Amino acid sequence: MLGGRLRRLAPLAGAVVLLASGCAKKAPQTTLSPKGPEARTIANLINPVFLVAGVVFVLVLGGALFVAIKFRARDDDDFDAFPAQVHGNFKLEIGWTIVPAIILAVIGALTVSTIFTLSKKPVAGALHVQVTGQQWWWEYRYDLNNDGKFDEIVTANDLVIPEGRQIALTITSRDVIHSWWAPALNGKKDAVPNHRSPLTIQADHTGEFIGQCTEYCGLSHAQMRIKVISVSADEFTKWADNQQKPAANPTEQAAVEGWKVFAGQCTSCHRVNGLKDPSAPTKDFAYPNVVNQRAGVVPNLTHLMSRTTFAGATFDLRKSDDSADGRYCKALGIHWADKPADLTRCLNRVDLEAWLLDPPGRKPMAPGPAMSPASRGMPNLHLTGQQIDYLIAYLSTLK
């Protein structure tokens, strides 16, 4: 069968394409290196097609070159002696109508079968996660108990998944159209407001897979990044348990000051589960009632320090330079902030301070006038250096 033979040639085609990507030593966002069954299904379909396309490319362009050279008018030609006046050849033309049609029909049949393979309902043991795009970050809500409600975990930027288990994503958006894409795991799916689109992913092994928003969504479209972190089942359970805990009140002096700053400056938009009122530490904090449409729909910060990125995964929360420190920090995995010494050592204070000082200056956003209903992105709150120090001390307690 043609299809089977094509599939066997797939690795060859893949190699050709990889070769074509030439000089790139490191392409972490590449579509050509699948790390999960869905992405592999796609690669197995497209690699033979690349091969066929490559053959046709060589034939047609080679043919054109051959014709151009062989039938060129030579200088010593008698220009009035005409070539044979061929008006067409019905059989030939029917032939090159039908042959491509057959090739395409085969590719089409394989395509259709793959389309339905990839849109199968999630398996019974799948982990259900709702993915919500908004300008310009991704929110992930987990349904751990399979009750159809995505209410157990609310997090942002990093999608933490257990390795080898199917993840059933439900993708939607709060504002404009975005598109969720982690190329190593599957193709992209648009996040369309008022629509909920399914997508399944699965990671073969542990590791980090990056991607980014791929539907143009305004100013910071380029800075709306995606990170999927695949961990072992045990680690995932540990992570999930921690995520469901509310935040504890800080005790350290600077952090308590930061708590006050947070309650005063940040709570018009941000939420921290279990947040208490700094002036009455046993009472739940009463969030201000504001018209701001972003109230409560910006990243939930309850477990900020369990993430590896912030600001729409634009910046690393851990030191990420190539110094020995940086590598050390990355090697700590998702529980990097558990030990105070590691947290102090690895927290990327440089970017975090710069962000708090002037968010729209660090990432293009349109926060508009303070508390404007049409606000898009984090405004400059004109925090002082002291306030920022306190805030970081407080945020460091949100593990």
Kindly identify the residues of this chain, within the stretch 377-396, that bind other proteins according to CB under 8 A. none
Nearer to other proteins, 1 or 116 (CB): 116
Nearer to other proteins, 72 or 283 (CB): 72
Contacts (CB under 8 A) with other proteins, residues 177-216: 177, 179, 181, 183, 186-190, 192-195, 197-198, 211-216
Quote the least distance from Cβ 129 to other proteins, whole Å. Answer: 16
CA pair distance 178, 191, nearest whole angstrom:
5
* 376 binds other proteins per the rule CB under 8 A: yes
CB-based contact 377:360 (threshold 8 Å):
yes
CA pair distance 362, 353, nearest whole angstrom:
11
Quote the least distance from Cβ 175 to other proteins, whole Å. Answer: 7
Size of residue set near other proteins by CB under 8 A: 96
The binding track of 212-251 with respect to other proteins, each residue x by CB under 8 A or -, is xxxxxxxxxxx-----------------------------
* 124 binds other proteins per the rule CB under 8 A: no
Query: What are the residues facing 346 on neighbouring strands?
Result: none
CA pair distance 154, 144, nearest whole angstrom:
11
The residue from 15, 20, 350, 370 that contacts other proteins (CB under 8 A) is 20
* 296 binds other proteins per the rule CB under 8 A: no
The residue from 6, 10, 13, 17 that contacts other proteins (CB under 8 A) is 17
Quote the least distance from Cβ 96 to other proteins, whole Å. Answer: 5
* 116 binds other proteins per the rule CB under 8 A: yes
* 89 binds other proteins per the rule CB under 8 A: yes
Phi first, then psi, for residue 200 (nearest 5°) are -105, 145
Contacts (CB under 8 A) with other proteins, residues 24-83: 24-32, 39, 41-42, 45-46, 49-50, 53, 56-57, 60-61, 63-64, 67-68, 71-73, 77, 79-80, 82-83
Helix, strand or coil, per DSSP, at residue 162: strand
The residue from 1, 4, 5, 86 that contacts other proteins (CB under 8 A) is 86
Pairing of strands 137-143, 127-134: antiparallel
Which residues, 6 or more positions from 370, have their beta carbon under 8 angstroms from its beta carbon? 379
CA pair distance 207, 18, nearest whole angstrom:
21
CA pair distance 374, 368, nearest whole angstrom:
7
Nearer to other proteins, 122 or 218 (CB): 218
Tally Cβ neighbours within 10 Å of residue 32: 18
Phi first, then psi, for residue 198 (nearest 5°) are -85, 150
Query: Is the N-terminal amide bond of 136 cis, ω within 30° of 0?
Result: yes
Structure token pair of residue 282: 């046993």
Contacts (CB under 8 A) with other proteins, residues 322-351: none
* 146 binds other proteins per the rule CB under 8 A: no
Cα-only R_g, the chain: 27
* 119 binds other proteins per the rule CB under 8 A: yes
